[in-house]
């Protein structure tokens, strides 16, 4: 126990006790790389990423055949439905002969599924299982991206419908194009040339990695209920694609010597190994989206904790600072702040900024404005800054949780009441007549030289 504590303290001292900004570039890169590895390992062991991956295994088993049936029916209309079986074979290749057997069974189930026999209730259940899978995927990605808001029902329906229709068509069409390059007459004619033949061989080796990485990038951009930068999504997808290829080879090697598991589990061995591979696949996908998140929000790597919890003093300071910044732009006629801008200005995660904005909005001091992107609304004052007393604002901030939960605790003892009254009196005297306008004007005014 003491050894673990000492090791944890050494890691914290190495990664977070020193400021990486003034260091040489190579050392800064090493420190941030170490922080990233630590954050991913922490989210896997202490967070719920592995739990989400386990949950997705169950949902995948429940909805895999209906999902393939819906995708198959859509792809059949575009004439590319024959690509379903090769894709499944490639995805389950690490399972060896068992993967080909599972693929044959799944395709057989899809071929034998008749929508007319299912009826309206059966069709509704089929669609429900497919939509529930996408909902669980979105929930897992929102957890990785620290997103608490869910999409509106109408928006979720249209986006899920586009995933089930447009997504398979684009993906399988791209696979068909990449697969047909090898049999193309022009490609075969130039393969005899020394440099072109080598390049084409390299391209054929890299093609599966590039295709799976692009697929992951599409999922990372589209699924989370937040704005994901394409660069961050590509970085996470490239790492996830590399893990997919490496772990796939390792798992295939493990499958080659898995005769003892077949002896133990008998006919259930295929199902057990299939579930393990599905779990690893989802875990790889979630690791990639975590890398994309930390690349887009490096402020979450400034501490060893998954969430940055502010003390009461820092929360009060942050609330006053945000209110003053919003009031300052109001007085200068500048465009309103949004959450992302305030996050960069304060060098704090957007989760903390969003909490303070919700607190000020709930108290009636600020309101949201309509913008081109509804995900990033601006915030403006709901009343004139000279009418907002700092004493009142500070009191609203300090009692926010009390008003939210309705719990006020046990009545204080007489001695505690006198102490609280004395503190409140001193605070009220210090802030008497001071308004939010005064605080906002002080952001740019020079300091008073006569002040002590």
Task: Please give the pLDDT value at position 106.
Answer: 76
Same domain? 19 vs 160: no
Task: Please give the pLDDT value at position 120.
Answer: 64
Same domain? 37 vs 52: no
User: For the packed helices 312-332 and 339-346, what is the interaxial angle rounded to 10 degrees?
Assistant: 120
Same domain? 82 vs 201: yes
Considering its fold, how many domains does the chain have in total? 3
Res. 425: pLDDT tops 60: yes
Whether 369 is in a domain gets the answer yes
**Which of 301, 325, 358 is the last residue in one of the domains?**
301
Same domain? 22 vs 111: no
DSSP letter for each residue of 391-427: HHHHHHHHTHHHHHH----SPPPHHHHHHHHHHHHHH
Same domain? 60 vs 107: yes
Task: Report the mean per-residue pLDDT for the chain.
Answer: 77
Same domain? 51 vs 39: no
Same domain? 33 vs 8: yes
**Which of 249, 271, 301 is the last residue in one of the domains?**
301
CA nearest 236: which of 300, 291, 297? 291
Same domain? 81 vs 221: yes
CA distances to 127, 164, 169, 326 from 134, rounded to whole Å, are 11, 10, 17, 38
Average pLDDT in the 120-137 region?
73
Whether 452 is in a domain gets the answer no
CA angle 391/394/400 to nearest 5° reads 135
Average pLDDT in the 8-28 region?
71
Task: Please give the pLDDT value at position 196.
Answer: 59
Whether 52 is in a domain gets the answer yes
247-277 pLDDT, tens digit per residue, is 888 887 777 666 666 555 556 777 778 888 8
CATH number reported for the structural domain that contains residue 346 in this entry: 1.10.10.10
- Range of 91-105, 147-161, 323-337, 429-443 with top mean pLDDT: 323-337
Res. 23: pLDDT tops 90: no
**Which of 282, 301, 320 is the last residue in one of the domains?**
301
Whether 451 is in a domain gets the answer no
- Residue 410 and residue 297 in contact, taking contact as beta carbons nearer than 8 Å: no
Res. 180: pLDDT tops 60: no
Can you tell me the distance from the alpha carbon of 42 to that of 24, in angstroms, rounded to the nearest whole number? 27
- Residue 296 and residue 350 in contact, taking contact as beta carbons nearer than 8 Å: no
Same domain? 110 vs 237: yes
Average pLDDT in the 98-103 region?
77
CA distances to 264, 329, 355, 381 from 397, rounded to whole Å, are 61, 21, 11, 16
Task: Please give the pLDDT value at position 452.
Answer: 39
Task: Please give the pLDDT value at position 135.
Answer: 81
Same domain? 132 vs 270: yes
Same domain? 194 vs 252: yes
Give 186 or 95, the one with higher predicted confidence: 95
Res. 173: pLDDT tops 70: no
CA nearest 295: which of 24, 33, 44? 33
Whether 215 is in a domain gets the answer yes
Whether 69 is in a domain gets the answer yes
Q: In which band, very low, low, confident or very high, does the pLDDT at 210 lie, cut at 50, 70 and 90?
A: confident
Task: Please give the pLDDT value at position 234.
Answer: 94
Task: Please give the pLDDT value at position 112.
Answer: 67
High-pLDDT (> 70) share of the chain, %: 68
- Residue 381 and residue 341 in contact, taking contact as beta carbons nearer than 8 Å: no
Average pLDDT in the 41-68 region?
81
Can you tell me the distance from the alpha carbon of 282 to that of 180, in angstroms, rounded to the nearest whole number? 29
Same domain? 35 vs 6: yes
> Which domain does 18 fall in, by range?
2-43
Task: Please give the pLDDT value at position 205.
Answer: 66
Whether 449 is in a domain gets the answer no
Q: What is the DSSP letter of 83?
A: G
Whether 306 is in a domain gets the answer no
Among 334-348, 363-377, 437-451, the minimum mean pLDDT is found in 437-451
Q: In which band, very low, low, confident or very high, does the pLDDT at 431 lie, cut at 50, 70 and 90?
A: confident
């Amino acid at each position: 126990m003491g050894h673990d504590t000492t090791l944890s303290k050494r890691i914290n001292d190495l990664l977070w006790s020193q400021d990486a900004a003034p260091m040489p570039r190579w050392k800064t890169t090493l420190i941030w790389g170490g922080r990233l590895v630590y954050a991913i390992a922490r989210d896997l062991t202490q967070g719920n990423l592995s739990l989400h991956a386990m949950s997705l295994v169950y949902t995948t088993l429940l909805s895999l055949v209906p999902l393939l049936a819906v995708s198959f029916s859509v792809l059949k209309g575009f004439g590319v439905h024959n690509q379903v079986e090769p894709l499944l074979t490639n995805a389950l290749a690490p399972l060896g002969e068992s993967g080909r057997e599972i693929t044959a069974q799944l395709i057989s189930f899809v071929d034998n599924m008749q929508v007319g026999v299912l009826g309206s209730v059966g069709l509704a259940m089929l669609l429900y299982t497919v939509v529930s899978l996408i909902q669980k995927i979105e929930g897992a990605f929102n957890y990785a991206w620290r997103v608490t808001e869910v999409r509106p029902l109408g928006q979720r329906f249209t986006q899920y419908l586009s995933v089930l229709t447009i997504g398979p068509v684009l993906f399988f069409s791209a696979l068909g194009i990449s697969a047909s390059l090898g049999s193309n007459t022009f490609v075969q004619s130039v393969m005899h040339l020394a440099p072109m033949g080598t390049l084409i061989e390299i391209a054929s080796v890299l093609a599966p990695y590039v295709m799976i990485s692009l697929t992951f990038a599409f999922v990372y951009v589209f699924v989370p209920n937040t704005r994901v930068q394409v660069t961050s999504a590509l970085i996470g997808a490239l790492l996830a694609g590399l893990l997919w290829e490496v772990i796939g080879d390792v798992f295939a090697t493990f499958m080659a010597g898995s005769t003892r598991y077949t002896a133990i589990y008998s006919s259930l061995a295929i199902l057990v190994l299939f579930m393990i591979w599905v779990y690893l696949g989802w875990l790889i996908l979630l690791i990639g989206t975590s890398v994309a998140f930390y690349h887009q929000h490096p402020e979450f790597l400034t501490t060893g904790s998954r969430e940055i919890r502010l003390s009461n003093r820092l929360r009060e300071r942050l609330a006053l600072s945000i209110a003053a910044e919003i009031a300052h732009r109001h007085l200068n006629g500048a465009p309103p702040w949004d959450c992302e801008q305030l996050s960069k200005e304060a060098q704090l995660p957007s989760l903390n900024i969003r909490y303070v904005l919700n607190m000020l909005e709930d108290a009636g001091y600020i309101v949201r404005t309509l913008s081109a992107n509804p995900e990033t609304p601006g915030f403006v004052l709901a009343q004139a800054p000279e009418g907002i007393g700092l004493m009142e604002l500070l009191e609203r901030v300090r009692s926010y949780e009390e008003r939210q939960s309705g719990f006020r605790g046990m009545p204080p003892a007489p001695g505690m009441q006198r102490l609280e009254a004395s503190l409140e009196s001193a605070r009220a005297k210090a802030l008497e007549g001071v308004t939010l306008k005064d605080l906002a004007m002080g952001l740019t005014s020079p300091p008073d030289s006569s002040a002590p």
